[in-house]
A and B are shown apart, each in its own frame.
Chain A
Amino acid sequence: MERSVNYGGNDLNLEATELRLGLPGSDEHEKQSSPGVRTSNKRASPEVAEESTSLSNSNVSDARNGDQDSAPPAKAQVVGWPPIRSYRRNNFQQKKTEADGAGMYVKVSMDGAPYLRKVDLKVYKSYPELLMALENMFKLTIGEYSEREGYNGSEFAPTYEDKDGDWMLVGDVPWDMFISTCKRLRIMKGSEARGLGCL
């Protein structure tokens, strides 16, 4: 037999401590009456989520929230979601880079060259190998990479266009990440190249 527990008064005062979204003084129950209104399906407030997921910086963005901007926000990482064991999760990365069994050919352009070339990124295991191949292909010297100076000290700087369409300096990110985001390569030369190194 369940005792009815008094929630109204003395001990718990749940109402006062209840965390909910919405302006103070607004109606307590945001009932979901139609599919268009999603507000009542919010999880506990953002502060709580940050506390409870202290292991990561996750913050679920409810892409269907009517309150937010019309463009659905990019999906944010949620700790432990989807519910797959970490053992399986570790297999994700591998699958991505193997997706194209036929090789990962990207165009390489060099400033001033009459035509473009293509290289298969899969053939190389690291940056030095790639850069050496480019040096051979275009008969030039690219020089040493340093995090601070880029490729300063050389006439040329290897850059690439990533998935977002931005032009990035080759060498900043880990190799595996590079080959999965690189869309094309461009070897910049002259003052433009040196300019990059000064950033």
Chain B
Amino acid sequence: MYFPSKKKNAVYVSPIKQDIHPIDFSLPTEPMNHKRKNPDPSPDSDEPTTQLSSPFPDEVLERVLSLLNSRKDRNSVSLVCKDWYDAERWSRTHVFIGNCYSVSPEILTRRFPNIRSVTLKGKPRFSDFDLVPPKWGAYVHSWLLVFATKYHFLEELRLKRMTVSDESLKFLALSFPNFKALSLLSCDGFSTDGLASITTHCKNLTELDIQENDIDDKSGKWLSCFPENFMSLEVLNFANLNSDVNFKALERLVSRCKSLKVLKVNENITFKQLHRLLVLAPDLRELGTGSLLQDLTPRQHSELKSAFNNCKNLNILSGFYEVTSIFLPVLYPACTNLTFLNLSYAALRSDELSNLLIHCPLLQRLWVLDSVEDEGLEAVGSNCPLLEELRVFPASDPFEDEILHGVTETGFLAVSYGCKKLHYVLYFCRQMTNAAVATIVQNCPDFTHFRLCIMNPRQPDYQTDEPMDEAFGAVVKTCTKLRRLAVSGLLTDLAFEYIGKYAKNLETLSVAFAGSSDRGMECVLKGCPKLRKLEIRDCPFGNAALLSSFRKYESMRSLWMSGCKVTMDGCRFLAQEMPRLNVEVISECGNDGCQADKLYVYRSVAGPRKDAPPFVLTL
């Protein structure tokens, strides 16, 4: 239904029904012609305001609502009544779209006319692990074309897992005169030429954040394209890029940009160059180092240490692409106020980590490689009482090398004894026991994110040889605030029964090589009311599981199933029953009885996508 608004000729889109859970992409799940259940307040704008409208003028309401930042709050606000819906949509300046195919740029711009900042996420998360073929989609270009006319004053664009071309970057650079911040995380499809367009044309750029992208790295010339009078940069992260930049140009840039707060250089920057940059920018809040190799003379050592000592505001340290032991002490003075230390590219030993952590009493987040071993994690437990987040990544490929080293349950236990505030963990390990996990969650019952990866698929409790069901049972029973869970090890349906029964706040679940039958997945779908993202690979779940609670998928962002037992006819049935879901399959064969190799199901108000490649079947 469409209701012309008195003041602005805006289009009214009916809000979501009350029985659908609050969603994160802040847009209604219904297509625009769907009738609402409840009777409308009168659309006739000449009538006097009824008790359903707000008692104060729209402008005041908009002003008040503009103070709301949380998108969950804004979603709730938009459901109150038509006036609040309108006020909210006019006052919203930032929009987050968790799945770029859930909505079209036209629908978006129609509802929200005043957007300055857009966050867009594209491909399913398993594309990070090569499970999604190239050229799958998630192109940003069609969005930019619409934004160029509707959001001419766009200032920020943050993209994750999107395909971005050099042409798109050039178009972006030329179409938005106020453009300030560009963040590209895990994107692909562009080269350093595209970056050069940005640095050349965006006169008001404050942020350029290039992280973990699949980028065609032709040269470092893009950095030299910043004009000589350009000085607005506050954030620069080019750690992702391997080609050399012109250091003199970088130096001049850093000395001009007095507001620079975040600087993350690539591994080609040597310690001598780093030293010069630190002297120019002692107010940095976040620093990403380059390579810290070569020999340090005593004088260089003390100069570098002194430069770090002058960085009183440093909260976040990362980089360390190549680092030898002798460099670590120069960091000690900078560690006093450190809240986040990212050593996940540096294969430190336990003693090296231990010596470093003594100087980091305020650490809240720590990322390391498992080269530090259990002993290194014991040092974490001893030195970091304020730790909230720990991520331990594997230092080497567990399939290439024997997993002789790395971390075990011992290290995780040690951290849980010492770090009572721990609530986020990502832990890659070679062995685990049910008993250890039970103790860990006793020590730290406030987990919100528990991502455990026992690296050998289907590995049982190495002490008892039993499945790891009880471990995850303990997690969901004890950690009532749990929002994200990734399971591993040998798991039967019992683990999923526990999850369905206890994980009432769970929003994201990642499952691989687990479960015994359809029942496992059924329990989760029936039991977890807040589930938004479910990603499954190589599990024995078939059509019965897929279709057991198919209406639920409309309350979720997406479902991914690959290497499971669902077949094409099961998927077709789902597509038939749920027209507002996009059911996409990547499969070798399209006949009914065939395995649906990769299934991706997501809700959308934009209908089936028009840019699907030939290998994606939309059912």
Q: Which of B36-44, B137-145, B164-172, B394-402 contacts A (4 or more CB under 8 A)?
A: B394-402
| Chain B residues, Cβ within 8 Å of A56 | 130
Decide: A14 near B130, CB < 8 A? Known: A81-B512, A82-B394: no
Q: Is the pair A84, B563 in contact by a Cβ cutoff of 8 Å?
A: no
| Chain A residues, Cβ within 8 Å of B322 | 94, 98
Q: Is A17 an interface residue (CB 8 A)?
A: yes
Shortest CB–CB separation between residue A154 and chain B, in angstroms? 34
B-contacting residues, A106-121, CB 8 Å = none
B-contacting residues, A78-103, CB 8 Å = 78-89, 91-92, 94-96, 98-99, 101
| Chain B residues, Cβ within 8 Å of A19 | 565, 595
Interface of B, helix, strand, loop or mixed by DSSP:
loop
CA distance in complex: A54, B387 (Å): 42
Q: Which of A7, A11, A51, A79 contacts B588 (CB 8 A)?
A: A51
Shortest CB–CB separation between residue A25 and chain B, in angstroms? 19
Q: Is the pair B465, A35 in contact by a Cβ cutoff of 8 Å?
A: yes
Interface of A, helix, strand, loop or mixed by DSSP:
loop
CA distance in complex: A89, B428 (Å): 13
Q: Digitize B366-387: 1 where CB-to-A-CB distance is under 8 Å, 0 elsewhere.
A: 0001010000000000000000
Q: Is the pair A84, B399 in contact by a Cβ cutoff of 8 Å?
A: no
| Chain A residues, Cβ within 8 Å of B516 | 31-32, 40-41
Q: Closest chain B residue to A29 by CB distance? A: B517
Q: Is the pair B465, A92 in contact by a Cβ cutoff of 8 Å?
A: no
Q: Is the pair A81, B598 in contact by a Cβ cutoff of 8 Å?
A: no
B-contacting residues, A52-72, CB 8 Å = 52-56, 60, 62-64
Q: Is A2 an interface residue (CB 8 A)?
A: yes
Q: Is A132 an interface residue (CB 8 A)?
A: no
Q: Which of B456, B459, B551, B593 contacts A17 (CB 8 A)?
A: B593
| Chain A residues, Cβ within 8 Å of B394 | 82, 84, 92
Q: Is the pair A44, B563 in contact by a Cβ cutoff of 8 Å?
A: yes
Q: Is B191 an interface residue (CB 8 A)?
A: no
CA distance in complex: A44, B596 (Å): 11
A-contacting residues, B474-506, CB 8 Å = 490, 492
Q: Digitize B532-569: 1 where CB-to-A-CB distance is under 8 Å, 0 elsewhere.
A: 00000111101110011111000000000011110101
Q: Number of B residues whose C-beta is below 8 Å from A?
A: 73
| Chain A residues, Cβ within 8 Å of B490 | 38, 41, 64
Q: Is A12 an interface residue (CB 8 A)?
A: yes
Shortest CB–CB separation between residue B547 and chain A, in angstroms? 6
Decide: A52 near B598, CB < 8 A? Known: A60-B513, A86-B130, A95-B395: yes
Q: Which of B458, B544, B563 contacts A49 (CB 8 A)?
A: B563
| Chain A residues, Cβ within 8 Å of B217 | none
Q: Is A18 an interface residue (CB 8 A)?
A: yes
CA distance in complex: A153, B503 (Å): 72
Q: Closest chain B residue to A94 by CB distance? A: B322
In which size bucket is the chain A interface? Answer: 35 or more
Q: Which of B457, B464, B569, B593 contacts A60 (CB 8 A)?
A: B457
Q: Is A43 an interface residue (CB 8 A)?
A: yes
Q: Which of B130, B547, B564 contacts A44 (CB 8 A)?
A: B564
Q: Is B345 an interface residue (CB 8 A)?
A: yes
Q: Which of A49, A76, A81, A95 contacts B129 (CB 8 A)?
A: A81
Shortest CB–CB separation between residue B540 and chain A, in angstroms? 7
CA distance in complex: A98, B512 (Å): 32
Decide: A63 near B456, CB < 8 A? Known: A17-B567, A85-B186: yes
A-contacting residues, B168-212, CB 8 Å = 186, 212
Q: Is the pair B543, A12 in contact by a Cβ cutoff of 8 Å?
A: yes
| Chain B residues, Cβ within 8 Å of A23 | none
Q: Which of A14, A35, A53, A78 contacts B457 (CB 8 A)?
A: A78
Q: Is B347 an interface residue (CB 8 A)?
A: yes
Q: Is the pair B492, A41 in contact by a Cβ cutoff of 8 Å?
A: yes
Q: Is the pair A83, B453 in contact by a Cβ cutoff of 8 Å?
A: yes
Q: Is the pair B131, A80 in contact by a Cβ cutoff of 8 Å?
A: yes
Shortest CB–CB separation between residue A84 and chain B, in angstroms? 7
Chain A positions within 8 Å of B, measured between CB atoms, are 2, 5, 7, 11-12, 14, 16-19, 29, 31-32, 35, 38, 40-44, 48-49, 51-56, 60, 62-64, 75-89, 91-92, 94-96, 98-99, 101
List, sorted by A's number, 24 A–B pairs whose CB atoms are closer than 8 Å: A14-B542, A14-B543, A16-B593, A17-B569, A32-B516, A40-B540, A41-B515, A41-B516, A44-B565, A48-B563, A52-B562, A62-B457, A76-B399, A78-B457, A79-B131, A80-B126, A80-B131, A80-B537, A83-B512, A84-B428, A85-B212, A92-B396, A92-B400, A99-B347
A52-B562, A76-B399, A96-B400 given; 4 more Cβ-contact pairs under 8 Å? A75-B398, A80-B537, A86-B130, A92-B397
